[in-house]
């Protein structure tokens, strides 16, 4: 959920389905509202939480604002039905545009929690179309991870794109910036390549008259060997530095492609043994996913062999992720779009770029760790298969072969191989979760 707060505000920490709230404080009526991007929940200040208030007083002071806050409190306690009622009540109390945006958005989160994809999509569609909700909020809220795995999300994303919304490409981080962090001196090297190329070109330009005089011959003509040597050095320098510049560009493109694949991988959805749907990024620092992709017979055999080493693999945080070729089904998307209707409220700042903070808050969830077992089920198999095939192309492996991919605790690819994994070797290779090497891998 996305949280809006007013000054002074109440702060609710987003932790999966359980949220921790600070004690309620009596607050005066305020009008200024702003975004708390760290917790991504749309929230308003409670009018009062004083125990001295009677039910009659609470009824009299009931507003859209207070209903949204009360709904968030109920949601934090797992009372989704009650929270849904409060958000619906908020919509019936003549809310202002920002309050309506909050109510529709948080109502969608409740529907997503209950697995009601169509109802969640309708709420989000209204918030996007009429109340200027930013699509980046939907892309990056952990409470909507299960919704993002449904066909209704793809339809909503396509409608938003046709309506002129910035729908992202499943992640919002600046890949160029990440590339610069990983290769900090690439820009400096390219600057020197350009400078040296220009210097060699200028020198060659001034050497042209000397070359012409050598060709013409006669008294006073420059020495042939010296002039030819200077020209050869300049031409050679230009060729070398241009080649180095192009090589740097190629390396950058490969690096950006790899970063893009890593980001796409982090957003792929899984269904845990508890039936909860999460994105792979939510399991960072918690497990080492091992993706097993191939024909049904090969994947089944690999899972059977892994069961023999279950105890050792669990101690090392291994989570099996089977992907069977051809299980994905394409969803037909109705291209109707939102159109470019005028917005009724100020735009909420997108929290899509706050990716690292979101990841850090999610991976600390002890409750999520308790839900992780030995094996998970992929959601949206077509997206998983597409990513694996892209990874095969990048590593020069024939597309469609049986492969396995071992991920690190930080979510990056550790190594991959063809065929069925050697589970005994993997158990020897990976350190236990409580080992120092595992801590350094996070």
Highest mean pLDDT among 29-38, 85-94, 205-214, 276-285: 85-94
Taking residues 191-205, report their average pLDDT: 93
Q: What mean pLDDT is predicted for residues 78-103?
A: 91
pLDDT given at position 142: 77
Fold of 4-162: 1.25.40
The per-residue pLDDT for 166 is: 61
Q: What is the pLDDT of residue 322?
A: 94
Residue 167 has pLDDT above 80, yes or no: no
Mean pLDDT of 414-441: 90
- Which pLDDT belongs to residue 353? 38
Burial class (CB in 10 A: 0-12, 13-18, 19+), 138: buried
**Out of 151-155, 167-171, 324-328, 363-367, which region has the weakest mean confidence (pLDDT)?**
363-367
Residue 76, pLDDT score: 81
pLDDT tens figures, 267-301: 888 888 877 788 888 888 889 999 999 999 999 99
Position 14 confidence tier, pLDDT thresholds 50, 70, 90: very low
CA atoms within 13 A on the CB side of 152: 19
Mean pLDDT of 241-266: 87
268-441 and 4-162 share a CATH fold: no
Average pLDDT over residues 326-354: 46
User: What is the pLDDT, as a whole number, of residue 182?
Assistant: 76
More confident call, 233 vs 259: 233
Q: Output the pLDDT for position 1.
A: 58
Residue 216 parent element (H or E):
helix 186-216
Q: Count of alpha carbons within 13 Å of 20, Cβ hemisphere only?
A: 5
- Residue 351: pLDDT above 60? no
> Beta 288-294 vs 318-324: how paired, if at all?
parallel
Q: CA gyration radius for the chain?
A: 29
**pLDDT at 346 exceeding the cut of 60:** no
| pLDDT over 70, % of the chain | 73
Identify the pLDDT of residue 370.
Answer: 56
What pLDDT sits at residue 165?
A: 67
Spatial CA neighbour of 42 closest among 117, 100, 125, 118: 100
How far is Cα 328 from Cα 384, in angstroms, rounded to an integer?
Answer: 8
Question: Exposed (0-12), middle (13-18) or buried (19+): which is 132, by Cβ within 10 Å?
Answer: middle
User: pLDDT value at position 311?
Assistant: 92
For the cut 70, the answer to whether the pLDDT of residue 213 exceeds it is: yes
Q: Sketch the domain layout of the chain as residue ranges.
A: 4-162, 175-265, 268-441
In this structure, what token pair is assigned to residue 129? 């179309």
**What is the pLDDT averaged over residues 215-237?**
83
Mean pLDDT to the nearest integer, 232-254: 92
Q: Where is average pLDDT lowest: 164-178, 197-211, 243-257, 427-441?
A: 164-178
- Say what percent of the chain tops pLDDT 90: 32
pLDDT in tens, 313-322: 999 999 999 9
Q: What is the mean pLDDT of residues 353-366?
A: 43
pLDDT top residue among 360 and 414: 414
- What local confidence, expressed as pLDDT, does residue 10 receive? 31
Q: State CA 336 to chain mean position distance.
A: 26
pLDDT band at 104 (very low <50, low <70, confident <90, very high): very high
Mean pLDDT of all residues in 242-258: 89
| Of 51-65, 230-244, 338-352, minimum mean pLDDT range | 338-352
| 400, pLDDT greater than 60 | yes
Sign of CA pseudo-dihedral 186, 187, 188, 192: positive
How confident is the prediction for the chain on average, in pLDDT?
76
**268-441 maps to CATH 3.30.1520.10:** no
Give the pLDDT mean for 327-343: 49
Q: How far apart are CA 429 and CA 442, in angstroms?
A: 16
More reliable by pLDDT, 279 or 172: 279
């Amino acid at each position: 959920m996305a949280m809006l707060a007013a000054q002074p505000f109440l702060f609710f920490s987003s932790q999966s389905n359980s949220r921790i709230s600070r004690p309620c404080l009596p607050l005066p009526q305020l009008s200024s509202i702003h975004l708390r991007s760290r917790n991504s929940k749309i929230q308003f200040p409670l009018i009062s939480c004083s125990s001295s208030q009677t039910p009659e007083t609470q009824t009299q002071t009931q507003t859209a604002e207070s209903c949204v806050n009360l709904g968030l409190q109920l949601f934090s306690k797992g009372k989704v039905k009650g929270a849904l009622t409060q958000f619906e009540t908020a919509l019936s109390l003549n809310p202002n545009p920002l309050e309506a945006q909050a109510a529709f958005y948080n109502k969608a989160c409740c529907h997503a929690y209950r697995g009601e994809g169509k109802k969640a999509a309708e709420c989000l569609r209204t918030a996007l179309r009429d109340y200027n909700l930013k699509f980046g909020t939907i892309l990056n809220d952990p409470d909507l991870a299960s919704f993002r795995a449904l066909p209704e999300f793809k339809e909503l994303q396509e409608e938003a794109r046709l309506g002129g919304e910035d729908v992202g490409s499943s992640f919002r981080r600046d890949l160029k910036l990440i590339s610069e962090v990983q290769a900090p001196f690439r820009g400096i090297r390219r600057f020197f390549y350009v400078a040296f190329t220009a210097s060699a070109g200028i020198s060659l330009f001034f050497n042209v008259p000397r070359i012409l005089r050598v060709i013409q011959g006669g008294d006073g003509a420059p020495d042939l060997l010296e002039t030819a040597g200077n020209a050869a050095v300049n031409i050679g320098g230009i060729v070398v530095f241009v080649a180095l510049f192009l090589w740097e560009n190629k390396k950058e493109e490969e690096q950006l492609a790899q970063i893009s694949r890593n980001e796409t991988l982090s957003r792929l959805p899984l269904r845990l043994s508890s039936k909860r749907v999460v994105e792979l990024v939510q399991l960072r620092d918690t497990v080492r996913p091992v993706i097993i992709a191939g024909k049904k017979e090969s994947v089944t055999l690999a899972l059977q062999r892994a069961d023999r080493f279950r105890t050792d693999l669990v101690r090392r945080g291994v989570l099996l992720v089977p992907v069977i070729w051809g299980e994905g089904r394409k969803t037909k998307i109705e291209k109707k779009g939102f159109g470019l209707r005028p917005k009724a409220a100020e735009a909420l700042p997108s929290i899509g770029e706050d990716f690292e903070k979101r990841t850090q808050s999610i991976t600390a969830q002890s409750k999520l760790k308790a839900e992780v077992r030995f094996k998970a089920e992929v959601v949206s198999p077509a997206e998983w298969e597409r990513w694996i095939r892209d990874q095969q192309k990048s590593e020069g492996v024939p597309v469609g072969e049986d492969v396995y991919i071992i991920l690190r605790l930080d979510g990056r690819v550790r190594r991959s191989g063809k065929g069925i994994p050697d589970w005994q070797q993997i158990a020897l290779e990976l350190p236990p979760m409580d080992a120092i090497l595992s801590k350094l891998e996070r």
